[in-house]
Structure 1
Amino acid sequence: MAPKFVLVALVSVLALLVGEIPTKVSAVTAVTEPAPTYSTISIVGEIFCKSCKLTGYVDYLDASPVDGVLVRVSCFDKNWNYISNYANSVPGGFFYLSWPDVANFIPERCGVYVDWSPLSYCSKPIYGPSPVGGAELYLVSEKNVTGGTEATYSPGVIYVERERWNVVCPNS
């Protein structure tokens, strides 16, 4: 432990360098950066059937891509109005949609849902925990485009699985 005279000397030097030490603390408001403003919002993702070896089966995922799945993205806007947009997955399991109301888009208030699967044996969606239900959206990229900035959000891969364990997947 340092002797007291060393501490007193350090405080004196600091007072000379910094100036008068305040005796009262004033309230400081936190400065928050404004949310980025985007000109275009894109939402992309993939739908895979878990544990079924269908066309396009991916070994490390133990899943196959599913095309024709009806995907719904539902959000509460700034005024808590509920807005939904739909897309179908294409071959490879990919889906894409452009969000029309960019000014009111709040990704934390959105969920991505599987509303229908063409595979009756693989139609139960698996979602992680989410405050709004469904799969959560995450910012994937931002890029400059003509007229502003495009933001791309994604829930990543959404898996659908068998409704009941006794349902058998056809092998291709």
Structure 2
Amino acid sequence: MGLPQPPPDLNFTISAEGVVWCNSCRYAGYVRSMGASPLPNATAMLRCRRDDGRALTVWNTTGADGYFLIQADWESAPFKSKDCKVYVSRSPAHGCAMPVKPAARKGAPLKFRRFVPLPNELQARYSAGNFTFAPENPAKC
């Protein structure tokens, strides 16, 4: 009897999820308890940077429910969650264009949620939370 076969190479990747909202405006999908509507077609960006100059940028857009899932490939393996933030630079709704949370250009840190097993891969799923925009003038929704 020999030693057991080692497991096949397993790639490690990261992903980030969140939701983009418009406060006050009653667009499709309005959630009364939040006082907000989901913003479809918003572009979310996962940006990772290390002190040694390495960087990674991955984009995705929100669906009709305002939800986004950004999945980075194997190139994300060298980065730690503290190296990464998610940004939603602008709202796709012109009437709801003022960033509220996080503030403009601040980005949201990643919070670990769970590991997701995928074929030949283990993905660390992080949450970036909610991104909220509001109208400059609530009467102009």
| Band of TM-score, shorter chain | 0.7 to 0.9
Paired residue for 1:121?
A: 95
2:45 to 62, 67, 72: 72
1:66–1:146 Cα change, 3 Å: same
Q: Unaligned regions of 5+ residues in structure 2, if any? A: 1-9
Partner residue, 2:34: 61
Deviation at 1:51, TM superposition (A): 1.2
The CA distance in 1 between the partners of 2:24 and 2:11, in whole Å, is: 38
**Which structure has more helix as a fraction of its residues?**
1
1:87 is the counterpart of 2:60: yes
Larger Rg: 1
Contact 1:38-1:151 within 8 A present in 2 as well: no
Give, in angstroms, the shift of residue 113 of structure 1: 1.2
Structure showing the higher strand proportion among its residues: 2
The amino acid that maps onto 1:84 is: T
Q: 3-state SS of the aligned residue for 1:59?
A: coil
Deviation at 1:38, TM superposition (A): 6.4
**What is the CA–CA distance in structure 1 between the aligned matches of 2:139 and 2:48, rounded to whole Å?**
33
What residue in structure 2 maps to residue 103 of structure 1? 77
Q: Which stretches of structure 1, 4 residues or longer, exceed 6 Å deviation after superposition?
A: none
Aligned residues: 130
User: Which residue of structure 1 aligns with residue 107 of structure 2?
Assistant: 134
Q: Higher relative contact order by CA 8 Å / sep ≥ 6: 1 or 2?
A: 2
Please list every run of 5 or more consecutive structure 1 residues that lacks an aligned counterpart in the other structure: 1-36
Structure 1 residue 40 displacement after superposition: 2.5
Tell me the residue number matched to 1:165: 137
> So what's the TM-score if we normalise by structure 1?
0.66
Q: 1:123, 1:107 → 2: CA distance?
A: 28
